[in-house]
A = this chain, B = another copy of it.
Protein backbone atom coordinates (compact mmCIF):
# COMPACT_ATOMS: atom_id res chain seq x y z
CA UNK A 1 0.00 0.00 0.00
CA UNK A 2 0.92 3.64 -0.09
CA UNK A 3 -0.53 6.94 0.98
CA UNK A 4 -0.18 10.15 -1.03
CA UNK A 5 -2.14 13.41 -0.89
CA UNK A 6 -2.16 16.33 -3.31
CA UNK A 7 -3.79 19.49 -2.00
CA UNK A 8 -4.75 22.58 -4.00
CA UNK A 9 -4.57 25.83 -2.04
CA UNK A 10 -5.04 29.42 -3.12
CA UNK A 11 -1.30 29.87 -2.60
CA UNK A 12 -0.36 26.85 -4.69
CA UNK A 13 -0.03 23.09 -4.39
CA UNK A 14 1.18 20.78 -1.63
CA UNK A 15 2.22 17.16 -2.17
CA UNK A 16 2.95 14.56 0.50
CA UNK A 17 3.82 10.89 0.06
CA UNK A 18 5.00 8.05 2.25
CA UNK A 19 7.91 5.84 1.12
CA UNK A 20 6.99 2.33 2.16
CA UNK A 21 6.69 -0.36 -0.43
CA UNK A 22 5.93 -3.95 0.40
CA UNK A 23 5.36 -7.31 -1.20
CA UNK A 24 4.06 -8.95 1.95
CA UNK A 25 4.71 -7.90 5.54
CA UNK A 26 8.09 -9.65 5.43
CA UNK A 27 9.32 -7.87 2.32
CA UNK A 28 9.35 -4.11 2.85
CA UNK A 29 11.56 -1.36 1.49
CA UNK A 30 11.79 2.43 1.24
CA UNK A 31 11.08 3.94 -2.16
CA UNK A 32 10.55 7.52 -3.26
CA UNK A 33 7.06 7.98 -4.67
CA UNK A 34 7.31 11.69 -5.48
CA UNK A 35 8.95 12.80 -8.73
CA UNK A 36 9.41 16.28 -10.12
CA UNK A 37 10.32 17.58 -13.54
CA UNK A 38 10.84 21.25 -14.22
CA UNK A 39 12.03 23.84 -16.69
CA UNK A 40 12.75 26.86 -14.54
CA UNK A 41 10.50 29.77 -15.36
CA UNK A 42 8.39 27.66 -17.71
CA UNK A 43 6.89 24.64 -15.92
CA UNK A 44 6.97 22.52 -12.78
CA UNK A 45 5.38 19.05 -12.78
CA UNK A 46 5.11 16.78 -9.75
CA UNK A 47 3.94 13.18 -9.87
CA UNK A 48 3.08 10.84 -6.98
CA UNK A 49 2.49 7.13 -7.53
CA UNK A 50 0.57 4.34 -5.80
CA UNK A 51 0.34 0.75 -6.95
CA UNK A 52 2.59 -1.89 -8.44
CA UNK A 53 6.20 -0.75 -8.01
CA UNK A 54 7.42 -2.27 -11.27
CA UNK A 55 4.70 -0.33 -13.06
CA UNK A 56 5.34 3.00 -11.35
CA UNK A 57 9.13 2.75 -11.72
CA UNK A 58 8.79 1.90 -15.41
CA UNK A 59 6.40 4.82 -15.83
CA UNK A 60 8.78 7.29 -14.20
CA UNK A 61 11.75 5.94 -16.16
CA UNK A 62 9.88 6.26 -19.44
CA UNK A 63 8.72 9.80 -18.67
CA UNK A 64 12.28 10.63 -17.67
CA UNK A 65 14.01 9.10 -20.70
CA UNK A 66 11.61 10.65 -23.13
CA UNK A 67 12.04 14.09 -21.63
CA UNK A 68 15.84 13.79 -21.77
CA UNK A 69 16.36 12.63 -25.35
CA UNK A 70 15.97 15.83 -27.41
CA UNK A 71 14.96 14.00 -30.60
CA UNK A 72 12.19 12.30 -28.67
CA UNK A 73 11.04 15.48 -26.97
CA UNK A 74 7.94 16.06 -28.99
CA UNK A 75 5.58 15.39 -27.38
CA UNK A 76 6.94 14.96 -23.86
CA UNK A 77 5.81 16.20 -20.50
CA UNK A 78 8.40 18.99 -20.77
CA UNK A 79 7.03 20.23 -24.08
CA UNK A 80 3.29 19.55 -24.08
CA UNK A 81 1.54 22.92 -24.26
CA UNK A 82 -0.98 22.53 -21.41
CA UNK A 83 -1.33 20.62 -18.12
CA UNK A 84 -4.24 18.80 -19.70
CA UNK A 85 -1.95 17.54 -22.47
CA UNK A 86 0.67 16.54 -19.90
CA UNK A 87 -2.00 14.59 -18.00
CA UNK A 88 -2.93 12.79 -21.23
CA UNK A 89 0.71 11.95 -21.90
CA UNK A 90 1.24 10.56 -18.43
CA UNK A 91 -2.05 8.65 -18.60
CA UNK A 92 -1.15 7.16 -21.97
CA UNK A 93 2.32 6.19 -20.77
CA UNK A 94 0.80 4.54 -17.69
CA UNK A 95 -1.64 2.61 -19.84
CA UNK A 96 1.23 1.56 -22.13
CA UNK A 97 3.26 0.18 -19.19
CA UNK A 98 0.32 -1.70 -17.68
CA UNK A 99 -0.60 -3.08 -21.10
CA UNK A 100 2.95 -4.25 -21.78
CA UNK A 101 2.94 -6.33 -18.61
CA UNK A 102 -0.57 -7.65 -19.10
CA UNK A 103 0.21 -8.79 -22.63
CA UNK A 104 2.56 -11.46 -21.34
CA UNK A 105 -0.49 -13.54 -20.58
CA UNK A 106 -0.14 -13.14 -16.83
CA UNK A 107 -3.52 -13.21 -15.20
CA UNK A 108 -2.73 -10.85 -12.32
CA UNK A 109 -5.17 -8.34 -13.72
CA UNK A 110 -5.11 -5.87 -10.85
CA UNK A 111 -1.55 -6.44 -9.78
CA UNK A 112 0.08 -4.32 -12.46
CA UNK A 113 -2.16 -1.35 -11.75
CA UNK A 114 -1.15 2.07 -10.50
CA UNK A 115 -2.93 5.30 -9.66
CA UNK A 116 -1.28 8.71 -9.83
CA UNK A 117 -1.64 12.20 -8.46
CA UNK A 118 -0.08 14.77 -10.68
CA UNK A 119 -0.01 18.55 -10.50
CA UNK A 120 1.94 21.66 -11.39
CA UNK A 121 1.87 24.73 -13.52
CA UNK A 122 2.88 25.84 -17.01
CA UNK A 123 3.73 29.54 -17.57
CA UNK A 124 0.72 31.67 -18.44
CA UNK A 125 -1.80 29.14 -17.12
CA UNK A 126 -3.11 28.42 -13.62
CA UNK A 127 -1.75 25.51 -11.52
CA UNK A 128 -3.75 22.31 -11.90
CA UNK A 129 -4.05 19.05 -9.96
CA UNK A 130 -5.11 15.69 -11.43
CA UNK A 131 -5.84 12.13 -10.38
CA UNK A 132 -4.90 9.60 -13.08
CA UNK A 133 -6.48 6.14 -13.14
CA UNK A 134 -4.83 2.88 -14.30
CA UNK A 135 -6.98 3.09 -17.45
CA UNK A 136 -5.13 6.30 -18.34
CA UNK A 137 -8.11 8.61 -17.92
CA UNK A 138 -8.12 11.27 -15.24
CA UNK A 139 -10.10 13.78 -13.19
CA UNK A 140 -9.14 17.25 -12.04
CA UNK A 141 -9.42 18.86 -8.60
CA UNK A 142 -12.07 21.59 -8.42
CA UNK A 143 -13.14 24.02 -5.74
CA UNK A 144 -15.60 21.54 -4.24
CA UNK A 145 -12.96 18.81 -3.92
CA UNK A 146 -9.59 20.55 -3.79
CA UNK A 147 -7.54 17.49 -2.84
CA UNK A 148 -6.81 13.95 -4.02
CA UNK A 149 -5.67 10.90 -2.08
CA UNK A 150 -4.31 7.63 -3.45
CA UNK A 151 -3.40 4.35 -1.75
CA UNK A 152 -4.72 3.75 1.75
CA UNK A 153 -7.05 6.76 1.76
CA UNK A 154 -9.70 6.06 4.38
CA UNK A 155 -8.05 6.53 7.77
CA UNK A 156 -6.64 9.94 6.90
CA UNK A 157 -9.69 11.28 5.06
CA UNK A 158 -11.96 12.60 7.85
CA UNK A 159 -9.39 15.11 9.10
CA UNK A 160 -8.77 16.34 5.53
CA UNK A 161 -12.49 16.71 4.83
CA UNK A 162 -13.06 18.68 8.02
CA UNK A 163 -9.94 20.80 8.30
CA UNK A 164 -8.65 21.59 4.82
CA UNK A 165 -9.22 25.14 3.73
CA UNK A 166 -8.04 26.75 0.47
CA UNK A 167 -6.84 29.82 2.39
CA UNK A 168 -4.35 27.79 4.43
CA UNK A 169 -0.66 28.61 4.53
CA UNK A 170 1.78 25.97 3.28
CA UNK A 171 2.97 25.48 6.86
CA UNK A 172 -0.55 24.79 8.13
CA UNK A 173 -1.16 22.44 5.22
CA UNK A 174 1.98 20.46 6.09
CA UNK A 175 0.80 20.24 9.70
CA UNK A 176 -2.63 18.99 8.56
CA UNK A 177 -1.13 16.44 6.18
CA UNK A 178 1.21 15.13 8.88
CA UNK A 179 -1.81 14.46 11.10
CA UNK A 180 -3.59 12.70 8.24
CA UNK A 181 -0.49 10.57 7.53
CA UNK A 182 0.09 9.83 11.20
CA UNK A 183 -3.51 8.57 11.60
CA UNK A 184 -2.98 6.32 8.59
CA UNK A 185 0.38 4.97 9.72
CA UNK A 186 -1.04 4.16 13.16
CA UNK A 187 -3.62 1.90 11.49
CA UNK A 188 -1.87 0.42 8.44
CA UNK A 189 1.65 -1.02 8.51
CA UNK A 190 1.95 -0.73 4.74
CA UNK A 191 2.15 3.06 5.00
CA UNK A 192 5.39 4.19 6.62
CA UNK A 193 8.01 6.82 7.32
CA UNK A 194 9.92 8.68 5.97
CA UNK A 195 7.42 11.11 4.47
CA UNK A 196 8.27 13.41 1.57
CA UNK A 197 6.63 16.80 1.25
CA UNK A 198 6.91 19.41 -1.48
CA UNK A 199 5.17 22.72 -2.00
CA UNK A 200 4.66 24.66 -5.19
CA UNK A 201 3.83 28.37 -4.97
CA UNK A 202 1.63 29.66 -7.77
CA UNK A 203 3.45 31.57 -10.54
CA UNK A 204 6.96 30.96 -9.15
CA UNK A 205 7.52 28.26 -11.81
CA UNK A 206 10.26 26.70 -9.72
CA UNK A 207 10.30 23.87 -7.18
CA UNK A 208 9.21 25.12 -3.77
CA UNK A 209 10.18 24.05 -0.28
CA UNK A 210 10.93 20.35 0.16
CA UNK A 211 11.40 18.21 3.22
CA UNK A 212 11.77 14.58 4.22
CA UNK A 213 10.36 13.63 7.63
CA UNK A 214 12.24 10.69 9.12
CA UNK A 215 11.36 8.71 12.22
CA UNK A 216 13.63 10.81 14.42
CA UNK A 217 12.30 14.16 13.15
CA UNK A 218 11.36 16.20 16.21
CA UNK A 219 8.53 18.10 14.59
CA UNK A 220 6.87 14.94 13.30
CA UNK A 221 7.16 13.37 16.73
CA UNK A 222 5.64 16.42 18.40
CA UNK A 223 2.65 16.15 16.04
CA UNK A 224 2.29 12.40 16.45
CA UNK A 225 2.50 12.57 20.23
CA UNK A 226 0.48 15.75 20.59
CA UNK A 227 -2.44 14.76 18.38
CA UNK A 228 -3.90 12.25 20.85
CA UNK A 229 -4.01 14.92 23.55
CA UNK A 230 -5.37 17.51 21.11
CA UNK A 231 -8.15 15.17 20.00
CA UNK A 232 -9.17 14.42 23.55
CA UNK A 233 -9.37 18.16 24.25
CA UNK A 234 -11.39 18.66 21.06
CA UNK A 235 -13.84 15.98 22.19
CA UNK A 236 -14.07 17.56 25.62
CA UNK A 237 -14.91 20.91 24.03
CA UNK A 238 -17.99 19.44 22.35
CA UNK A 239 -21.28 19.65 24.27
CA UNK A 240 -21.70 16.82 26.79
CA UNK A 241 -24.18 14.07 26.17
CA UNK A 242 -26.96 13.35 28.66
CA UNK A 243 -29.10 10.27 28.08
CA UNK A 244 -32.39 11.78 29.17
CA UNK A 245 -32.70 14.95 27.17
CA UNK A 246 -30.87 14.20 23.91
Contact = CB atoms under 8 A, between A and B. Distances in A.
A222 B243 contact: no
A141 interface: no
Contacts of A240: 171-172, 175
A189 interface: no
A80 interface: no
Given A231-B163, A234-B230, A234-B231, A239 B211 contact: no
Which of A158, A226, A233, A235 is the most central at the interface, judged by chain B CB atoms within 10 Å of its CB? A158
A238 B223 contact: yes
Contact of A219 (B162, B222, B226, B239): B239
A58 interface: no
A178 to B, nearest CB: 8
B186 A158 contact: yes
Secondary structure at the A interface, as helix, strand, loop or mixed, is helix
Contacts of A217: 246
Interface of A: 154-159, 161-163, 165, 170-172, 174-176, 178-179, 183-184, 186-187, 209, 211, 213, 217-220, 222-223, 226-228, 230-235, 237-243, 246
28 contacts: A154-B154, A155-B155, A155-B157, A157-B187, A158-B184, A158-B187, A162-B183, A162-B232, A163-B232, A163-B235, A171-B243, A172-B235, A172-B241, A174-B241, A174-B243, A175-B238, A175-B241, A178-B241, A211-B243, A218-B246, A219-B241, A220-B246, A222-B238, A222-B239, A230-B235, A230-B237, A231-B234, A233-B234
